[in-house]
Amino acid sequence: MSTGLVSAGATFLLPGGRTRSDSLSGRPRLCTGTDLTGARAAVIGMWNEANPDAKVELDEVPGGSRAERDSMVERIKNGAVDIVNLDIVDVREFAKEGYIKEISLPTRTYFPAVERAHRVAAGSGRYWAVPFNSDVGMLFSRVTTGLDTRQPLLPQVIRRDTRGVARFVGQLLPDTENDTEPFVVNVLEHALSVDPGILDRDGRVAEDLVRWQDALSPLRTAIQHNDVVRARNEEETRDLFEAGLTHMRNWPARYRGLRSQVALLPLPSGILGGQSLALVANAANVDASLRFIEFATSAAAQRVAAAHGLAPALTHVYDDPSLLQAMPYLEAVKSALEQAIPRPTHRHYRDFAAAVRRHVLPFLGQPNGRLTSAFTDEIKSTLDPGTR
């Protein structure tokens, strides 16, 4: 299916239709993390075919979200890159630190949460980074009997089934620093399922300790009673789910790799994810880089990315009949993105995430674990509006 959709989209992606473009020169250098879907390679391949004198040179760095961020900073400082493919949580930091510069684009219609996370100013058409794909946390369910989709789903699945067997797996047992982000996303989604105000739609975090204790109490109880299975990351979660569990929390891109059909259900407050292309402030190949970013984030390119399993950020791409016929689950992804909650859009977000792991992990996993005022005090200092 993806092969057919990519072939169909190629005509619209190539500048001038099927003809090559000789108007650009220079080789944009793109630093990005690993992409297991093949979407990025497909889009870059189309660009390079159409622009033989401005081919994108790919610098792929492995290691997970934090390692990718650190590698990008190093390459920017060394003048070795023109474009970076940022995790959405790093856009604010890179902008504030002067690593990237704003981009102006023709009017585009993004999901509200996506728009707010990337824009320089409301309604300006100016962005610090441009979404290559979006993402949102969702519930994968092999068995939906007994689930009330009108109510928050996570509290319903973190209980054992009628046989007394754990049935849910999520990214709740970080092992390395690169497992921090999956853990934080899961913690926020579980907290939001109990208290929707713990993180608002502008990414502001509640600072009341009792609210946090109450919001995480059902998850703590489930972990203490071994009612859930805890995985380190998205890959391990998928493997455990495939081994026989009935529910997991994961990103939509994991759907295509599953060996059996499952339901993909929107969380009322799934955490917003995604990767976005940004122009490096000291880029050597500015014109070609800007043209590639506009090309790679267009509606046609997002259709190609969707064909490989990624979630588009532009709303109208979800109305494409060919995509919906091949991937009807995109309707659920669209619904989830319409309700998605962004993580704090703050230059010190990574410090906030580290604080969540440092304080919340022992609270959830240790019998005598406590969530104290040190946690909320650290949230206040880390997410200080004065350093936003």
How far apart are alpha carbons 101 and 283 in whole angstroms? 10
Residue 21 has pLDDT above 60, yes or no: no
289, 28 Cβ separation under 8 angstroms: yes
Residue 152 has pLDDT above 60, yes or no: yes
157, 290 Cβ separation under 8 angstroms: no
Average pLDDT over residues 72-78: 97
Kindly give the interhelix angle for 349-365 and 209-224, rounded to the nearest 10 degrees. Answer: 50
pLDDT at 20: 52
Amino acid, single-letter form, for residue 216: L
Amino acid, single-letter form, for residue 260: S
Token couple for 154: 């996570």
- Segment 96-135, tens digit of pLDDT: 999 999 998 878 899 999 998 998 877 777 899 999 999 9
pLDDT at 162: 86
pLDDT at 14: 45
Q: Please give the sequence-ordered ranges of beta strands (E in DSSP) within 51-159, or none if there are none.
A: 57-61, 83-87, 100-101, 103-104, 126-127, 130-136, 138-141
Ordered domains of the chain (ranges, CATH): 2-135+273-334 (3.40.190.10), 138-270+346-387 (3.40.190.10)
Confidence of residue 62 (pLDDT cuts 50, 70, 90): confident
H or E element in which residue 373 lies: helix 373-382
Query: In the chain, how long is the greatest CA-to-CA distance?
Result: 67
- ∠ CA 95-96-101, nearest 5°, is 30
Which of 103-112, 224-233, 271-280 has the weakest average pLDDT? 103-112
What residues contact residue 123 under an 8 Å CB cut-off, 6+ apart? none
Report which of 72, 67, 45 is spatially closest to residue 56, judged by C-alpha positions.
Answer: 45
How far apart are alpha carbons 276 and 165 in whole angstroms? 40
The mean pLDDT value of the chain amounts to 92
Residue 388 has pLDDT above 90, yes or no: no
pLDDT at 66: 87
DSSP 8-class letter at 341: B
pLDDT at 65: 86
Residue 233 has pLDDT above 50, yes or no: yes
- Segment 168-209, tens digit of pLDDT: 999 999 999 889 999 999 999 999 999 999 999 888 999 999
pLDDT at 129: 96
pLDDT at 4: 52
Distance of CA 63 to the CA centre of its chain: 16
What residues contact residue 381 under an 8 Å CB cut-off, 6+ apart? none
Task: Write out the DSSP string of 85-100.
Answer: EEEGGGHHHHHHTTSE
263-279 as b/e, with b when 16 or more CB fall inside 10 Å?
bbbbbbbbbbbbbbbbb
H or E element in which residue 169 lies: strand 168-171
Report which of 274, 286, 294, 292 is spatially closest to residue 104, judged by C-alpha positions.
Answer: 294
DSSP 8-class letter at 344: P
As to burial, measured by CB atoms within 10 angstroms (0-12 exposed, 13-18 middle, 19+ buried), residue 282 is middle
DSSP 8-class letter at 249: E
H or E element in which residue 154 lies: helix 154-157
Average pLDDT over residues 232-239: 96
